[in-house]
Amino acid sequence: MNLKEDIKKVKQASIQLQGTSIENRNKALEEIIKALLEHKEEILEENHKDMELAIENNIEKAVLGRLKFDEKKLQDVITGIQDLIKMKDPLFQTQLARELDEGLKLYKETCPIGVIGVIFEARPDALIQISTLCIKSGNCIILKGGSEAMKTNKILFQIIQNAICLANLPKDSMMLLEARSEINELLTCHESVDLLIPRGSNSFVQYIMNNTKIPVMGHADGICHIYVDKKADISKVIPIVVDAKTQYVSACNTVETLLIHKDIMHEVIKDLKIALEEKKVEIRASKDICELIECNELSDQDYETEYLDYILAIKTVESVEEAIHHINYYGSHHTDCIITEDMQAVDVFMKMVDSANVYHNCSTRFADGYRYGFGAEVGISTSKLHARGPVGLEGLLSYKYKIFGSGQTVTDYASGNKTFHFKDITI
Amino acid sequence: MNLKEDIKKVKQASIQLQGTSIENRNKALEEIIKALLEHKEEILEENHKDMELAIENNIEKAVLGRLKFDEKKLQDVITGIQDLIKMKDPLFQTQLARELDEGLKLYKETCPIGVIGVIFEARPDALIQISTLCIKSGNCIILKGGSEAMKTNKILFQIIQNAICLANLPKDSMMLLEARSEINELLTCHESVDLLIPRGSNSFVQYIMNNTKIPVMGHADGICHIYVDKKADISKVIPIVVDAKTQYVSACNTVETLLIHKDIMHEVIKDLKIALEEKKVEIRASKDICELIECNELSDQDYETEYLDYILAIKTVESVEEAIHHINYYGSHHTDCIITEDMQAVDVFMKMVDSANVYHNCSTRFADGYRYGFGAEVGISTSKLHARGPVGLEGLLSYKYKIFGSGQTVTDYASGNKTFHFKDITI
């Protein structure tokens, strides 16, 4: 079997897939739900084997947590697929309709990207989410999951592939890579693959970006900031910072650097230290802060580090402008937040911070497809490039997501204390 | 002077520029019009010097035509800027507004890309169009024009840069590179430059794509097709094909391969040969056609060639499906057209052809920002990548432009016989 030839077949299938009706694509999603329930026992059994091997190999606990696929996770992905079925067809949506002249009409219409390669961590639920998002949007998918989940991924893939065939979608719409060595061959298939989405460590994503001609979507670093403005409501600071740092310490949208306005620093730093210590967070701070509380002094290197750990860099700044400059200079254009009651400072911060997600008074951990009401996500992108066809004004734009909160933390939503209600509003 | 440091200053200016009001940006455009009119004589004089040197150096005629900047072209660009001023602010437009929960609101809002590097041919009017599009959209711009236009570009750049300063936009929002050697240094500035738009030959665009980490927007090849279906209205075939091939032979949206359904071939091929011969177009055709008319036989190589010349490849196909397969396999995903009265064939063709622009019954030459009512364009993109932030369903989509015509040719619009009326319509 020649991998390149197999991938070419996926490309050919993508032409068929992009013409399928929403009825077909939704039917495929329904068949997937049916098949997942029918084969539940086999899936759990294969996952059990993966788990046993992982424990034998002393895989770290956090990875084991992601690798485990139990009834609860199965129910969650099924709920996710049910939500996806309810969403309206994203394809063939008209974004512009213009008569150029008598009998000459121009339409701008959505269509699939084509063939998408996703390389993801050892999370079997991610395989299902990514596959179903791609099916709904008419994209073919080449999957490579973490090797620890090999057996679980294999059975899930077979079940999903069989299910889409029952809905008359082409079998070659999906492909599973099993060996890590196949990634390098995938990287050379720029004639067949339209997009790569690598998820994983900075060095892994960098490796992918530097070794392929295929466009890569995603993010390497996630160096996120919270800026505590001089007009911050102090009662919001500690819950937001603690949530953003500790709710899930190894996520890309976890805060790594806290910037505090010098005028408010004295009022918050001691309580903040106590709250962070309770969660076992190490503070690395600028010299002026080290004179107030016991902590290690940071170096410039810290500003460029994605800790993915219980460590937080803290620095004082003189103004919102200095905070913005620091974030644009050291940040990774991922997710950054201002805590303040001064709406003018919010406006400046949100306009000037050049990041995909800019927030007011809430945790950076909200940067997530599910929490935005997208159902699921294939990843988070810090890319800005996106135009096709003649590139006029609109093609010279990117967009950013802004959230205006009032102190919300992700912990409350993760624990079930609060639930999202996702209501589209008119402005 | 260190180029890298200068480019860093442009990046810094981009943060200021992205926060400017539409009043400021429109004021800058008005100042540019004023300054162009005020300095008209000097501009024409500098262009005269460029022209003289180009003639001395035996530059080819087509390039001279593009290089020449006269009162007519000045008036055209001024009209373009006036249109641009009338357009509503593309920045800070809300594309999604959603309440996630009580007091937690999500907005998706347009913002500039940042710093854009455009490398373009020896066309002084392009410098003005690109600069003004970038100013309106809040993007900083690094320009490198064809060396033949050096003197004209220099004075135009100075005039435009002075004008934007009068409107309080940062001076460093714009930068002009003069030496070709500076392009290689620009390619290394991935920390300061957000996007490169190279315009020029396939090999030049490929060179740029292979030698930078900066995202590149545009297209390398323009291998465009017209498919004449068995249910084509024959009266439309010859005007459309002749226009698409000869209206501007070296453009990227010029047709290079004509696919004709075998059932209609006999009815059109002889008249088509006469019409193309009148325009001195060489026909290279598949064997079955060579048996009917006198012409050279083509090889597979022809299907992959962007002639940019008075040559047309012609091949018979058995079905619309074969035509679609040929276009997706050999084409460059730029602009492809079907001529038919069968709306079912149109639907299949437009869904299945994976190109940025897919047309029905009109010339491929309509693929152009001005003709789409965008005012102007910075280039034409065959890229499909475009998502930022959490990537859900919508981020898995691209879009394509569809035009439904009734036999229109670009010649009629270029000559002034017909004019566009650009009316947005509801569907």
DSSP B226-259: EEE-TT--HHHHHHHHHHHHHSSTTSTTSEEEEE
| Chain-centroid distance, C-alpha B213 | 23
Residue A133 domain-assigned (yes or no): yes
Q: Within this chain, do residues B286 and B138 fall inside the same structural domain, yes or no? A: no
DSSP state of B261: E
CB-CB under 8 Å, A99 with B422? yes
Place of tokens 């004295």: A266
Q: Is the pLDDT of residue A397 over 60?
A: no
Report the CATH number that the domain containing residue B262 is assigned in CATH: 3.40.309.10
In chain B, the number of structural domains is: 2
pLDDT at A400: 52
Contacts of A41 (CB under 8 A, 6+ apart): none
Domain final residue pick, A210, A232, A256? A210
CB-CB under 8 Å, A213 with B213? no
Q: Within this chain, do residues A194 and A233 fall inside the same structural domain, yes or no? A: no
Q: Give the percent of chain A with pLDDT over 90.
A: 53
pLDDT at A255: 94
Residue B426 domain-assigned (yes or no): no
Residue B102 domain-assigned (yes or no): no
Residue A258 domain-assigned (yes or no): yes
pLDDT at B67: 93
Q: Within this chain, do residues A274 and A145 fall inside the same structural domain, yes or no? A: no
CB-CB under 8 Å, A373 with B391? no
pLDDT at B55: 94
Q: Within this chain, do residues B77 and B165 fall inside the same structural domain, yes or no? A: yes
Percentages of chain B per state (helix, strand, coil), in multiples of 5: 45, 20, 35
Task: Render A196-218 in DSSP notation, one character per residue.
Answer: EEE-S-HHHHHHHHHT-SS-B-S
Residue A376 domain-assigned (yes or no): yes
- CA nearest to A173, candidates A163, A188, A183: A163
Asked if A24 and A168 touch (Cβ cutoff 8 Å), the reply is yes
Q: Within this chain, do residues A122 and A162 fall inside the same structural domain, yes or no? A: yes
Q: Within this chain, do residues B184 and B253 fall inside the same structural domain, yes or no? A: no
Q: Within this chain, do residues B331 and B205 fall inside the same structural domain, yes or no? A: no
How far is B390 from chain A, CA to nearest CA, in Å? 4
Which stretches of A188-304 are DSSP H helices? 202-210, 234-246, 262-278, 287-290, 300-303
Domain final residue pick, A145, A175, A210? A210
Give the lowest-confidence range in A4-18, A361-375, B151-165, B332-346: A361-375
ipTM, two decimals = 0.82
What's at A283, amino acid-wise?
A: I
CB-CB under 8 Å, B385 with A111? no
pLDDT at B398: 54
Tokens found for residue B222: 């323009």
Q: Within this chain, do residues A238 and A197 fall inside the same structural domain, yes or no? A: no
CB-CB under 8 Å, A372 with B423? no
pLDDT at A389: 44
Q: How far apart are CA A220 and CA A202, in angstroms?
A: 5
pLDDT at A270: 93
pLDDT at B387: 41
Backbone angles phi and psi of B143, in degrees to 5: -105, 140
pLDDT at B70: 93
Comparing CB atoms, the residue among B87, B134, B418 nearest residue A396 is B134
Q: Which residue has the higher pLDDT, A46 or B421?
A: A46
A377 touches chain B (CB under 8 A): yes
Q: Within this chain, do residues B140 and B79 fall inside the same structural domain, yes or no? A: yes
Cα–Cα–Cα angle for B23, B27, B31, nearest 5°?
A: 175
How far is B249 from chain A, CA to nearest CA, in Å? 19
Contacts of B134 in chain A (CB under 8 A): 396
Residue A175 domain-assigned (yes or no): yes
pLDDT at B402: 54
Strand ranges across the sheet with A140-144: A174-176, A140-144, A115-119, A195-198
Q: Within this chain, do residues B264 and B190 fall inside the same structural domain, yes or no? A: no
Positions of chain B with pLDDT lower than 70, given as ranges: 1, 384-407, 409-410, 413-414, 420-427
Contacts of B197 in chain A (CB under 8 A): 391
Give me chain A's average pLDDT, please. 87
How far is A55 from chain B, CA to nearest CA, in Å? 32
Q: Is the pLDDT of residue A65 over 60?
A: yes
Domain final residue pick, B187, B210, B233? B210
Report the CATH number that the domain containing residue A18 is assigned in CATH: 3.40.605.10
Q: How far apart are CA A256 and CA A200, in angstroms?
A: 18
Place of tokens 């005629």: B61
Q: Is the pLDDT of residue A319 over 60?
A: yes
pLDDT at B154: 96
Q: Is the pLDDT of residue A374 over 80?
A: no
- Tens of pLDDT along A135-166? 998 999 999 998 999 999 999 999 999 999 99
Task: Band the pLDDT of A308: cuts 50, 70, 90.
Answer: confident
Which stretches of A87-233 are DSSP H helices? 124-136, 150-166, 181-187, 202-210
CB-CB under 8 Å, A392 with B375? yes
A134 touches chain B (CB under 8 A): yes
Asked if A224 and A254 touch (Cβ cutoff 8 Å), the reply is yes
- In A319-348, the residues whose Cβ lies within 8 Å of chain B are 324-325, 328, 348
Residue B105 domain-assigned (yes or no): no
Give the 3-state secondary structure of residue B93: coil
- Which structural domain, as residue segments, surrounds residue B242? 224-414
A6 touches chain B (CB under 8 A): no
Residue A216 domain-assigned (yes or no): no
Q: Within this chain, do residues A31 and A56 fall inside the same structural domain, yes or no? A: yes
Side-chain half-sphere CA neighbours of A193 within 13 A: 29
Q: How far apart are CA A356 and CA A334, in angstroms?
A: 5
Mutate one of A91, A365, A397 to test the B interface: name it (highest B CB count within 10 A).
A397
Q: Within this chain, do residues A143 and A264 fall inside the same structural domain, yes or no? A: no
- Tens of pLDDT along A81-133? 998 898 888 888 887 788 878 778 888 888 888 898 999 888 899 899 889 98
Contacts of A337 in chain B (CB under 8 A): none
Q: Give the percent of chain A with pLDDT over 70.
A: 90
